Amino acid sequence: MASHRKSRPTGSRVAGIRTPALATAALTSVALLSQSANAAPEADDKPSLEEVEKKVDDLYRQAGSATEKYNGAKEKTAKQRKRVDTLLDDVAQRTEKLNEAREELGTFAAAQYRTGASAPDTATFLLADTPQDYFDQTQLMDRMTGRQKVAVDDYITQQSETMEKRQEATQSLETLTESQGDLKTAKATVQRKLADARELLSKLTAEEKARLAAIEKEKQQEAARKAAELARQQAEQQKEREQEQEAAQQQGGGSSSAGSSSGSSSTAPDSSYATKADKALAFARAQIGKPYVWGATGPGSYDCSGITQAAWKAAGVTLPRTTYDQVNAGTTVPLADAQPGDLVFFYEDVTHVGVYIGNGMMIHAPKPGTYVREESIYYDGESSIHSVVRPA
């Protein structure tokens, strides 16, 4: 009997499976899709160059903030250590005097014992828990000689003052320990942020580093353009002020009329400020090229608030150590009225500062890996400028 089965054509399905040719193609497609799927997350996980730049900038800013906290903790620790040393010296001196007073009382007690006096009251006094406890229960003072009374009074005074100073020294030691802890924490934070920034930069390829340098150059060019624009505005304002003053003088109004007609003239510095500012700027210019080192105040290296403090110290003006305090050490003036010598502060948390030199430029110590240099105050964008302060 003839078979009713049909022969299977090449390429047809067998039990739901394609023939080897089609199966191979399908498996290849699946493998390629799988590779693409696996590769996609890796590509997505890698940050863009712009993201790396932003992250590095943020880390440097965070390091700058931690540096100012470190500066503050270091200053506080130094003052507290000096205070503790002074107190400990005082306690030592008072303890010595207390021992001398105790020895004198002991002499009286020994004399009473040897001569068989009515009662060894001085010895009993020395054995009491506190002088006042003893006097509350006896009439010792009524039975003492004049010299004994003086000795007891001196002993009580010395003991009381020594106890107070010991307590004060103990409290100061506790505060010093806290300050040292804050200093250690701030230092560790700075080091960690800088290490994170270096790690990010180390992962960039040579091409990416070149592109990053090109981006930075564009930012500098824009910052220079903004500085030139500010310089033009300030020059125009100065010209207007001079014209107003000249007109006022011609009309017989005097300089007071010029001052009232110009909104900016009220913030113009006097000649004494200009003299001090010249000295501060001369010092700052002499530091150009020295490396930024966080926590440094010179003379070989500086951080941002370190160089502003040193510059104005050269002009005879004492500024606080940190940006947080320097921003309050003077008169705030509008950016348009900034004069050479003024301090320009940056960021909402006031963690950077530079010395204004005019024409939209400043001298500052930017960040780790850089050097003290002249740069536009718009180096990190106009929005980064916090305020301008005239320190003297």
Backbone angles phi, psi at 355, to 5 degrees: -100, 120
Tokens of 143: 């039975």
Best CA proximity match to 317, nearest among 241, 389, 213: 389
Best CA proximity match to 361, nearest among 227, 223, 216, 235: 227
**Calpha distance 119→138 (Å, rounded):** 12
Which positions are annotated as active-site residues?
304, 352, 364
Give the three-state DSSP class for 291: strand
**Calpha distance 136→126 (Å, rounded):** 14
Is the bond preceding residue 391 a cis peptide, omega within 30 degrees? Answer: no
**Calpha distance 132→140 (Å, rounded):** 11
**Calpha distance 140→148 (Å, rounded):** 10
First to last CA, the chain: 120
Query: What's 204's DSSP letter?
Result: S
